[in-house]
Structure 1
């Protein structure tokens, strides 16, 4: 597994990992069609330490998918923890508890699963999509994304067009939560980049059945 060199942030030299509070530190931005995003910069203190632990300890796997008439490699490494599985680091359990405390009343349930993606360099990406398998395809839900490692752009645009893309540069412990109708009415992507960028891990917390 070849991964680009990781350069820690000068703003995150904490030796210990701490998941911050949410509350009034979260900034909500309303989108069209009943969607919204919440943003909490530097939510995880010591995020670079957590990045290195997950990079080294998670059993990352490469996957393939059929596209038209050929099988292609998915351009990132993956790991998935369902609601019965133990998360790979105590800090992720702490993050899930903070998310549940803040969002469960609005969401109507807690977050159940954690999907992890390792973007090894700028060639790794995820195409435009919404998490519309399961409940996300027919009712409002939330997907919370904590990003560790080098910042990369996460883009959002209305499904089917009708507006410019919105860009969020996320890394080193930032949190972005997509809520309301976002999975049904908007798409999101992490595009490839020719710029030299370091590796990145995103952790997606989702309610039961949302993929």
Structure 2
């Protein structure tokens, strides 16, 4: 049975708000790829998690893998406009202004427990296959590690727990040259929702 969300001890705010992006920290992955990190960018993250988990029309998807069809191990939703909460519009506008790029879509993933995951991949459908691009991930709910490794394989070289309002932005050629994942875990973990803001033509 999935664990309920354990509220953050540091976030008692009901109305979600985003902070200025001035405190963001850049971590180079290579000469041409980087990630930006801002833990706790969103306050009131637990309130937003509750709103999204209860109001979004989540869907389950299946995909063909090898000789069979498997269920995607997470629930999904996709938005352009309007977004499912006003704070997400505020966040998208702030990110667009900060990075001088227009984020137009919001893809949501609902990881219900440690059995839900996303395999190694890059956002290389559309413009992400040929152009440098930004992908911004805002996480609410329990913390889960986001791993990154070079696209040609090898062990993960970057690990960043994401949850409770944390922001992670991938930029440069990160989508072409690096892969990222949320691995499964047998540890008892609560649910997490990630909101991925992308420019048009990037999936």
TM-score normalised per structure 2: 0.97
Aligned residue in 2 for 1:16: 15
3-state SS of the aligned residue for 1:88? coil
Aligned counterpart, 2:170: 178
- How far the C-alpha of 1:15 sits from its partner, in A, is 2.0
Alignment partners' CA distance in 1, 2:201 and 2:31: 23
Runs of 4+ in 1 over 6 A off after TM superposition: none
Aligned length: 203
**What is the root-mean-square deviation of aligned Cα atoms in Å?**
1.2
Are the counterparts in 2 of residues 33 and 185 from structure 1 also a CA contact under 8 Å?
Answer: no
Gaps of at least 5 residues in structure 1 are: none
1:17 deviates by 1.1
How far 1:16 moved relative to its partner? 1.7
Q: 1:14: Cα distance to partner?
A: 1.0
Separation (CA, whole Å) in 2 of partners of 1:164 and 1:149:
24
CA distance in 2, matches of 1:103, 1:90: 20
Deviation string for 1:8-57 (max 9, x for gaps)?
A: 0001111221111102x000011115100000010000000000000000
Distance, in Å, in 1 between the alignment partners of 2:53 and 2:155 is 36
1:101 Cα deviation (Å)? 1.4
Q: Which residue in 2 is equivalent to 1:100?
A: 96
Taking structure 1 as the reference length, the TM-score comes to 0.93
> SS at the partner of 1:55?
helix
Given the alignment of the two structures, is residue 88 of structure 1 paired with residue 67 of structure 2, yes or no?
Answer: no
